[in-house]
Amino acid sequence: MPGWAPVLGPVLRVAVVLVPALKASRMAAHSMASRALKNPYRDHDGSAACSQGLFDQHGGVLQLELTADFAGRLRSKISELLSHMENGLKSADPRDCSGYTGWAGIALLYLHLHSVFGETSYLQRALDYVNRSLQRLTRRTVTFLCGDAGPLAVAAVVHHRLQKSQEAEECVSRLLKYHQDVVKGSRNLPDELLYGRVGYLYSLVFVNQQFGQEKIPMQYIQQICDAILASGESLSKKRRMQQQSPLLFEWYQEYYVGAAHGLGGIYYYLMQPDFGVGEERLQGLVRPSVDYVRQLKFPSGNYPPCIGDSRDLLVHWCHGAPGVVYMLLQAHKVFGGDGYLADALQCGEVIWQWGLLQKGYGLCHGTAGNAYTFLALYKVTGDPKYLYRACKFAEWCMDYGKHGCRTPDTPFSLFEGMAGTIYFLADLMQPQKSKFPAFEV
């Protein structure tokens, strides 16, 4: 079994990208406002006139339809950006197999475009890119986004759609070879999404959802959840935190809070009703741990990147409200009451105000990733205000490159660059079905 701790080598890329940004942010006396561009849009005022030209407000809750004009604008921008992306990818790192910055991410985008638009040429592109990825597996990292499970899971689905069942089976069986090691957690496997257990878990869920059947038995998923819970209980005990948070998780000696490396991302999975956590552990372990994260909320409504970090700076999917919101909405679905939803709605306000990021238009720490918050809120509340806000952030993204934003290290990739923006614009075409890629279940 290859090791997964990102100590050296190209797989470290993601860690390097995320962590120094964070450390630098702690040193700078900046604010959320300095990292965002001023939101120039008028907010939704509750009237149907407000959404005119974007979507039709006559439909029932969750049946709002984009206008033909707006859908056409999205469609033509998608084509335009795709051709930019294809051109840009000619100079991308040929060795990067990953979903986050490499070929598997591009394959996932094309698979998504095939789902949304039904054009077979997209499926062929997905096959080409995933084959490129499979030739360059890390043999070290096991997750969907940064390791080998993503390429294998995406390849399984592409072959399945092409009705190549033998190839699909082979990918699934290669994917499952990692399972026992993930459960055992040898070589200090973390639990978080980018490098840890939930990142592998997502690969299994992705296969089942895309195949539309329980291709991978739920016991596999439950066993991973059991291992995550045991790991979280053990760390909480070791740090004498059981009273505050019966579960606790760390990555690189920090207790991260957000979706990419932290507690919010892990708890989002542990609250999925089919994953076998069960009522007793949900109420006794997960719920108080979720409540512990809730009380880390800043007065603004945003969340810190790590426990103990008092600087309210980052409004990213990876660190801050745009990632934590998924945990809050899932807690609302599972536990009910008004508190979780109120906190989630507050995330929506933070992101509307400070979510148009200097860092660009990507998913991980960019405007497209932040826009998914509004789609998530729309799916739960049915409130047209959130669809409106998602459309406005999409308009911002459609002015790609015109705001003087930073260019990411991998400008065409799924998680940092243009592929992610295209993914979001395509998802907006079918808002009820939208899901933050490689994360949302």
Binding residues for Zn(2+): 318, 364-365
Residue among 318 and 356 whose Cβ is closer to Zn ion: 318
Amino acid symbol at 218: M
261 belongs to the binding site for Zn ion (CB under 5 A): no
* Under 8 Å between Cβ of 222 and 278: no
Query: How far apart (Å, rounded) are the C-alpha atoms in residues 156 and 165?
Result: 9
438 belongs to the binding site for Zn ion (CB under 5 A): no
89 belongs to the binding site for Zn ion (CB under 5 A): no
- What part of residues 313-342 is at the interface with Zn ion (CB under 5 A)? 318
* Under 8 Å between Cβ of 146 and 190: no
Q: How far is the CB of 250 from Zn ion (least distance, A)?
A: 18
Binder among 297, 365, 385, 392 for Zn ion (CB under 5 A): 365
357 belongs to the binding site for Zn ion (CB under 5 A): no
Please provide residue 298's backbone torsions phi and psi, each rounded to the nearest 5 degrees: -75, 160
Residue among 198 and 364 whose Cβ is closer to Zn ion: 364
Q: How far is the CB of 366 from Zn ion (least distance, A)?
A: 8
347 belongs to the binding site for Zn ion (CB under 5 A): no
Residue among 18 and 175 whose Cβ is closer to Zn ion: 18
Q: How far is the CB of 318 from Zn ion (least distance, A)?
A: 3
Binder among 109, 113, 156, 364 for Zn ion (CB under 5 A): 364
Residue among 44 and 365 whose Cβ is closer to Zn ion: 365
Query: How far apart (Å, rounded) are the C-alpha atoms in residues 22 and 143?
Result: 22
Q: Quote the Cα angle for 369-372-373, to 5°.
A: 110
Residue among 193 and 248 whose Cβ is closer to Zn ion: 193
* Under 8 Å between Cβ of 216 and 172: yes
136 belongs to the binding site for Zn ion (CB under 5 A): no
Choose the stretch contacting Zn ion; rule: CB under 5 A; options: 82-90, 126-134, 186-194, 363-371.
Answer: 363-371
Torsion angle, CA of 376/378/381/385, rounded to 10 degrees? 140
Q: How far is the CB of 117 from Zn ion (least distance, A)?
A: 28
* Under 8 Å between Cβ of 216 and 275: no
Residue among 15 and 109 whose Cβ is closer to Zn ion: 15
Residue among 318 and 380 whose Cβ is closer to Zn ion: 318
| Residue 36 β-bridge partners | 357
344 belongs to the binding site for Zn ion (CB under 5 A): no
- Residues that contact Zn ion, how many (by CB under 5 A): 3
Q: How far is the CB of 367 from Zn ion (least distance, A)?
A: 12
Tokens 């705001």 found at: 403
Residue among 16 and 61 whose Cβ is closer to Zn ion: 16
Q: How far is the CB of 364 from Zn ion (least distance, A)?
A: 3
> Which residues define the annotated binding site?
318, 364-365
- What part of residues 104-123 is at the interface with Zn ion (CB under 5 A)? none
Q: How far is the CB of 14 from Zn ion (least distance, A)?
A: 8
13 belongs to the binding site for Zn ion (CB under 5 A): no
Choose the stretch contacting Zn ion; rule: CB under 5 A; options: 120-128, 193-201, 311-319, 351-359.
Answer: 311-319
132 belongs to the binding site for Zn ion (CB under 5 A): no
156 belongs to the binding site for Zn ion (CB under 5 A): no
Binding site for Zn ion (CB under 5 A): 318, 364-365
